[in-house]
């Protein structure tokens, strides 16, 4: 893992599972038919993507380093195989999986170690799906809200790229970047609840988190009143194929 913040999500595991988005149904167009495939979900969190993959017929194994996040995942999806490892060290034999997925996790991995390790455990021509699922930052009012999550003096903020930077001469080929826009009906309480689950808010401490939540609620009430909000969302990332050995 590239930043210790990635291991703090367990402090908000239940809230994370309650308020973070699952992939939209339209994501099926990005992955094709996964019925019966052996699939690895890396950095699986509480299993938001895991449950989506199970619903569409995959046989799912997961890696989630945070104990508290993993407990929620196993409670919600007891049928999955849990692997104790990381993106940089997957405890399986070569060519074990037909596809590998990750949702809002790639930026925590150490490179090129993770890329090489995931290529090792993926079968020839197997699919790599590097996804981020979150608020649409192209919408001005949404961009202003998401900026509240970051501490002003945080110099460790990750680059705001939303694609996997894959070496064209490396183990993955046919890389395609994508954006899938979708809409998510949310209440103000649900949106406010989600803000406490992001790393930029978590590292600020309780007082700062409460202030962030207050500002988010205030701005949403000013713009929308107390009516339900169709939240603009974007699933984005990179899909690629494992180069035959």
Q: What angle do CA 45, 199, 77 make, to 5 degrees?
A: 10
**Would you identify the CATH topology of the domain 4-137+155-184+233-242?**
Rossmann fold (3.40.50)
Q: What is the CA radius of gyration of the chain?
A: 18
Domain residue spans of the chain: 4-137+155-184+233-242
**100-to-16, 35, 38, 84, 120 alpha-carbon distances in Å:** 22, 14, 9, 16, 11
Per-residue pLDDT of the chain (245 residues; tens, 9 = 90+): 444 444 466 578 899 899 999 999 999 999 999 999 999 999 999 999 999 999 999 999 999 999 999 999 999 999 999 999 999 999 999 999 999 999 999 999 999 999 999 999 999 999 999 999 999 988 888 888 888 876 555 444 444 579 999 999 999 999 999 999 999 999 999 999 888 787 666 666 678 778 888 999 999 999 999 888 999 999 999 999 999 99
- In this prediction the pTM is 0.88
Q: Starting at the edge strand that comes first in sequence, how are the strands of the sheet with 59-63 ordered? A: 81-83, 59-63, 38-42, 97-103, 122-135, 229-242, 172-186
22 in Cβ contact with 54 (< 8 Å)? no
């Amino acid at each position: 893992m590239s930043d210790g913040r990635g291991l703090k999500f367990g402090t908000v595991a239940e809230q994370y599972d309650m308020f973070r988005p699952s992939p939209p149904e339209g994501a099926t167009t990005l992955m094709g038919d996964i019925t019966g495939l052996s699939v690895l979900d890396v950095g699986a969190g509480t299993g938001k993507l895991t449950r989506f993959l199970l619903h569409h017929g995959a046989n799912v194994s997961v890696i989630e380093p945070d104990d508290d996040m993993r407990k929620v995942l196993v409670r919600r999806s007891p049928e999955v195989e849990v692997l104790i490892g990381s993106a940089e060290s997957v405890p399986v034999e070569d060519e074990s999986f037909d596809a590998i997925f990750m949702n809002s996790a790639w930026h925590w991995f150490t490179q090129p170690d993770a890329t090489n390790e995931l290529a090792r455990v993926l079968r020839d021509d197997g699919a790599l799906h590097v996804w981020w699922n979150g608020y649409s930052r192209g919408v001005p009012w949404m961009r202003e809200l998401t900026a509240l999550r970051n501490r002003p003096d945080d110099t460790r903020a990750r680059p705001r790229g939303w694609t996997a930077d894959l070496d064209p001469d490396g183990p993955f080929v046919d890389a395609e970047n994508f954006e899938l826009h979708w809409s998510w009906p949310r209440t103000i309480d649900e949106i406010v609840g989600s803000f406490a689950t992001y790393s930029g808010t978590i590292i600020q401490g309780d007082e700062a988190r409460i202030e962030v939540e207050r500002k988010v609620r205030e701005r949403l009430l000013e713009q929308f009143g107390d009516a339900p909000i169709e939240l603009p969302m974007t699933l984005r990332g990179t899909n690629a194929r494992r180069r035959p050995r």
